[in-house]
Structure 1
Amino acid sequence: MHFDLADLRLFIHIAESPSLTQGAKRAFLSPAAASARIKALEGQLGSRLLYRDNRGVELTPAGQRLLQHARLIMRQVEYLKGDFTEHGADQGGHIRIFANTTAVTEFLPEVLAGFLGARPGVTVDLQERLNRDIVRGVLDGSSDLGIIAGPVVAPGLQAIHFSTDRLVLGVPVGHPLSQRAAVTLRDTLEYPHVGLHEGSTLQTFLRDQVERMGASLQLRIQVSSFEAICRMIETGVGIGVIPESAALRHSRTMQLSMVKLDEPWALRERSLLVRDLDSLPGCVRALIDTLRNHPSQAASSS
């Protein structure tokens, strides 16, 4: 059985597009040419790969399986190209990262700035995702590297611990809870909260915890960053659950108090997820080493 890399790339484009026409456009082919290539691929595999209707395309179960294999194959081709660039084994290549909210907004910008500044041949695609989507993305080859916090349930993946952080409650100076040595999440529910935007990893996690208690979270406002949360807390808009690393950083310039969260999940282990560390290209392994040894991660673990 012979597979043409161009056909696999075309199939990925179509699977990730709303229609065959859009997928064909991404592959610089006419819709008719793209359709003929997909039909030939289906004939070679002896399986239907796509359902087509007026709304677009949908993958069949066989198509889902092919998409997973096709992504892995094309990622390996990219790895091969990266290892033979003129920049050297770890100086060139493209890295796709799926990461949680804290990673995307707090420490990755600083880490990546130094990493990319020293490697002009490396490019990065960084996407914020929920933990379950991060795991799925690394498993199916959509992502080279996943960054999550909390317990890891990822059969088939390697989890590399690289730092520890804690969730704390941020409150305005003089707030009734500011005098407490520690509080539970339930203790906070009678007060309005400031939260992250809908769909963020932390906000989804907190909502799940509250729902397990049969309660509800009084969200007064949702914002896009931990800095914005701290600004809202400082001015008395509400209280908020945030990573201790973010709270410590923003408390240097803002007036807010931190209260310990007495919850088993408040201490969060940060992990890097990969399919196979040894098979990753040099640039990805170099980024993993950078993350594990970066001063900001050592500080968050203390």
Structure 2
Amino acid sequence: MHFDIPDLRLFIFVAEELSLTGGARKASISTAAASTRIKSLEGQLGSRLFYRGSQGVELTPAGEKLLKHARAIMRQVEYVKSDFSAYSNSNVGHIKIFANTTAVTDFMPEVLAKFLGERPAISIDLQEKLTNDIFRGVLDGAADFGLTSGEIKIKDLEVLPFSFDRLVVVVPVGHELSNYSIVDFFDTLHHPYVGLHEGSTLLQFMKAQVKEVGVSLPLRIQVYGFEPACRMIEAGVGIGILPESSAARYQKTMDVQIVHLSNDWASRERSIVVREYESLPEASKELIKEIKDYFS
């Protein structure tokens, strides 16, 4: 059985686009040529990889399995290219990261500004993902590494802790909860909430907490990002749960107050998750070091 790297790359493009035409466009070949190469790949494997329909294509179970292997192979190819580049020594390459909301909006901008400023030949693809999607992406080879918070129960991942993240209640100045220095989360649920968007890992985490006791989060409005959330809170629209580091930053310029949570889950360990640290290219290892150093 023989696999061509271009065929695997084409297969990934088609699977991600859910379209033979879209995949062919990304691979810079004709749709007819793409169809021929996919059929050849199916012939080699003796398995159908896509269900074809008028609306596009959909992966078969065999296709899902090949996608996981193909991504891992392509990531390894990129690692080899990076490590053997004439300009190596961590100064060139492309790094793909899946991260939770806190990482994307709170500390990664500062980390990446310094890291990329010193390495102009490196490019970064930073994507906000839900926790399970972060784990799946790293395991499948869709991302070099992931950034997440809280307990990690997934096997086959290396976990590299780097800091702690404490969640706090943010309220407008003068709010009735501002009279307390610490409260239980469930005592806040009779107040309207300012929440993040549905794709936010923090919102999903908060919904999981209330679901355990059979209630729902009293969302009044949802926004994209911690700064818009704090502005809504300052205006009296509601209260919110945010990472303490972000809340403290916006407290300097907005009329909001921080109230600590008594719940054990409010303190969460931040971790980097990788499939195999030693197989990462030097650029990825250098970025992981920069993240750890940022909190040291």
Do the structures match in fold with TM over 0.5? yes
* SS of structure 2 residue aligned to 1:265: helix
Is 1:64 paired with 2:64?
yes
Alpha-carbon distance in structure 2 between the residues aligned to 1:273 and 1:80: 21
The aligned residue for residue 78 of structure 1 is 78
Deviation of 1:86 after TM superposition, in Å, equals: 3.3
Q: Deviations over 1:232-281 (max 9, x none)?
A: 22222211101011111111112221111111210010000101000100
The aligned residue for residue 217 of structure 1 is 217
Q: Deviations over 1:24-49 (max 9, x none)?
A: 11111212111111111111111111
The aligned residue for residue 283 of structure 2 is 283
* SS of structure 2 residue aligned to 1:78: helix
The aligned residue for residue 91 of structure 2 is 91
Deviation of 1:89 after TM superposition, in Å, equals: 2.5
* SS of structure 2 residue aligned to 1:88: coil
The aligned residue for residue 257 of structure 1 is 257
The aligned residue for residue 238 of structure 1 is 238
The aligned residue for residue 115 of structure 1 is 115
Alpha-carbon distance in structure 2 between the residues aligned to 1:45 and 1:218: 51
Is 1:208 paired with 2:208?
yes
Alignment of 1:14-163 (within 5 A): 14-163=14-163
Deviation of 1:153 after TM superposition, in Å, equals: 1.8
Deviation of 1:284 after TM superposition, in Å, equals: 0.1
TM-score of the two chains, using structure 2 as the length reference: 0.97
Alpha-carbon distance in structure 1 between the residues aligned to 2:237 and 2:64: 46
Q: Deviations over 1:142-174 (max 9, x none)?
A: 000100011112210101000001000011122
The aligned residue for residue 184 of structure 1 is 184
The aligned residue for residue 166 of structure 1 is 166
Q: Deviations over 1:112-166 (max 9, x none)?
A: 0100010011100010000000000000000001000111122101010000010
Deviation of 1:78 after TM superposition, in Å, equals: 0.9
Q: Deviations over 1:196-233 (max 9, x none)?
A: 11221101111121122111222121111111111222
For 1:80, give the aligned amino acid: V
Range that drifts further, 131-140 or 222-231: 222-231
TM-score of the two chains, using structure 1 as the length reference: 0.95
* SS of structure 2 residue aligned to 1:194: strand
Deviation of 1:58 after TM superposition, in Å, equals: 1.0
1:194–1:232 Cα contact (<8 Å) kept: yes
Provide the aligned length of Structure 1 versus Structure 2: 296
Alpha-carbon distance in structure 2 between the residues aligned to 1:105 and 1:196: 12
Runs of 4+ in 1 over 6 A off after TM superposition: none
Alpha-carbon distance in structure 2 between the residues aligned to 1:53 and 1:81: 37
Alpha-carbon distance in structure 2 between the residues aligned to 1:252 and 1:158: 37
Range that drifts further, 84-93 or 131-140: 84-93
Deviation of 1:12 after TM superposition, in Å, equals: 0.4
* SS of structure 1 residue aligned to 2:139: helix
